[in-house]
Amino acid sequence: MPMFDQEVVVLMGSGSIGEAIARRVSSGRRLLLADYNETNLNNVQQRLQEAGFVVETIKADLSSRDSIKAVIDKAQSMGKGIKYVINAAGVSPSQTTPERVLKVDLYGTSVLLEEFGKVIMNGGAGLIVSSQSGHRLPELGNEINQQLATTPTEELLNLDILQPSVIKDSLADYQYAKRENVLRVAAESVNWQKRGARINSVSPGIIMTPLALDELDGPRGAGYKRMFNSMVTKRPGTPDEIGDLGEFLLSDKAQFITGSDFLIDGGITAQYWYGDISEVRGSGHVEKGK
């Protein structure tokens, strides 16, 4: 099939979860991988090409609007339109500063929703990979929810609720970022609907990825391991389990679903709020799953 007759799939973030979703929706389409780490890009590209996918890459920074626009420009040059966009990019609170967490996971995701919402093709769909951490915050109230959902993107980081005097560490910033992702997906879905397109999010629990391994080996590792005993699965999840849900949400089988978030965490968030708190929470903070 000629290149310009093919639809394009964009994957932001070349990690295990994003790859699992992309594998399920990229057959017969052209796939653009975007990531800040060029070594990861090259490794995933080679793996997917060897599996028969048509793949191009671009170095990208989720925290930069110009970089996201460059990804869109390249994607539009690859085929007849952007059919699917998957955002699986992000940073771990154990790996970086609170400011970087907000810049990438909160601001960057908001820019992506806004910019791709301007170009997604009719019948297209998007998926934001958020995290169970967003479900660990208590109810913020309608006023703050509205601020996180609808504040103009370039003003988001100025919100009082996101200032260092309020949020004290990277983990808390991560929680707020992931709560904002879910709220923003709902708000931006209104604009996506104007183009005949859908956008949803998934909130994974503890999924065995390199990022999760960093967390398991970090200061909160013991708490995570205690969590497994309270889960229905007695184990962490796998990228393929997130891939199966992602495939469904992007497909026409989910054409009546948009602006929604899907928690996929083995039941641990329910345990956190309603179960044996001493077992799930342990002696310290037990959060973050993606």
Please count the other Cβ atoms lying within 10 Å of the Cβ belonging to residue 73. Answer: 11
Residues 38 and 81 sit within 8 Å (Cβ to Cβ): no
Q: How many residues does the chain have?
A: 290
pLDDT of residue 282: 52
Q: What percent of the chain has pLDDT over 70?
A: 92
174 is catalytic: yes
Catalytic-role residue among 84, 107, 174, 272: 174
The pTM of the full predicted model, rounded to 2 decimals, is 0.91
Q: How far apart are CA 248 and CA 235, in angstroms?
A: 23
In the predicted model, is pLDDT for residue 150 greater than 60?
yes
pLDDT in tens, 45-99: 999 999 999 999 999 999 999 999 999 999 999 999 999 999 999 988 877 888 9
Catalytic-role residue among 83, 103, 107, 178: 178
pLDDT of residue 1: 54
For residue 42, with 0-12 CB atoms within 10 Å meaning exposed, 13-18 middle and 19 or more buried, which class applies?
Answer: middle
Over residues 130-148, the mean pLDDT reads 95
pLDDT in tens, 190-206: 999 999 999 999 999 98
Our measurement of the distance from residue 283's CA atom to the centroid of its chain's CA atoms, rounded to an integer in Å, reads 29
- For residue 14, the 8-state DSSP code is -
pLDDT in tens, 242-252: 999 999 999 99
Which residue has tokens 């994003």? 18
pLDDT of residue 287: 40
Q: How far apart are CA 117 and CA 113, in angstroms?
A: 6
Residues 287 and 226 sit within 8 Å (Cβ to Cβ): no
In the predicted model, is pLDDT for residue 4 greater than 80?
no
